[in-house]
Amino acid sequence: MTPSTPETPAARSRAPSSEEGLREPVPLLGVRTLLDDAGISRSLLRIAHEIIERTAEPERLYLVAIPNGGIPLARRLARGLREVADLSVPVGIVDTTLYRDDLHSTGNRPALRRTEMPSAVDDHIVVLVDDVVKTGRTIRAAMDALMDFGRPAAVQVVGLVDRGHRELPIKLDYVGKNVPTRAREQVQLRNVDGDEGVLELVIIGAPEDDAQGGES
């Protein structure tokens, strides 16, 4: 083993002092794993159980992922539902970009992501799946988008992480993990092996003067 000295990046994974933090590039600002791949799978399996428990007619379930993070999670959740209740649940993807409420005020034009709805949502119990929920604005946008595809019987929300900081009256139905955060920290779902095979949920500290907040 190489002896670790105070200068190695590994020593930095402790939260840096704010003085130091000001000029550090983001990756060095204390990246901490909140959930590893197995932990994510366990959370989703538990959520699959909860969904089955609370849904009177589970054959009407329809998972809808919010890209990008929601996509691998919705797939795992669908697998979980198959294991738990032998259910084959359709999985759709709805991009929320064109429904965002900040397009005009910021003038930003984020890249669009794919939308794929394999079948009609009418009379289905739609479960929206997102990785990180914070302000609730993405969920609001996703609900609006969903309504353009029909009239679901009900809409529920799964968030792998609930960070708090809600700005809209939106409550999650199923939560993987509640993580109290500071507004400027970032919580990200990452693909460790690049092929959606191994996931990792991390929290990244932010310097105090960094105005860029992650929005979810």
Footprint of other proteins on this chain (CB under 8 A)? 95, 98-99, 103-104, 106-107, 109, 111-116, 144-145, 148-150
Contact yes or no for 8/28 (Cβ under 8 A): no
Beta carbons within 8 Å of 143's beta carbon, 6+ residues apart = 128, 155
CB of 59 to other proteins, least distance (A): 23
**Rounded least distance, CB 67 to other proteins, Å:** 11
Least distance to other proteins, CB of residue 95, Å? 7
d(CA 198, CA 84): 22
- In the sheet that holds 174-178, the strands lie side by side as 91-93, 61-65, 125-133, 154-162, 174-178
Closer Cβ to other proteins, 144 or 173, answer by number: 144
CB neighbourhood size of 137 (10 A): 20
Helix (H/G/I), strand (E/B), else coil: 199 = strand
CB of 137 to other proteins, least distance (A): 14
Per the structure block, which two tokens stand in for 209? 């003067």
Least distance from other proteins to the Cβ atom of residue 141, Å: 9
Nearer to other proteins, 95 or 130 (CB): 95
Cβ 121 to other proteins shortest distance, Å: 10
Which C-beta is closer to other proteins: that of 41 or that of 68?
Answer: 68
Element (H, E) at 160: strand 154-162
For residue 133, what are its two tokens? Answer: 């929920």
| Residue 162 near residue 170, CB atoms below 8 Å | no
Q: CB nearer to other proteins: give 93 or 187.
A: 93
**Identity of the residue, 145 or 201, whose beta carbon is nearer to other proteins in the bound complex:** 145
Sign of the C-alpha dihedral computed for residues 56, 57, 59 and 65 taken in this order = negative
Minimum CB distance to other proteins smaller for 69 or for 205: 69
Which pair of structure tokens corresponds to residue 44?
């989703």
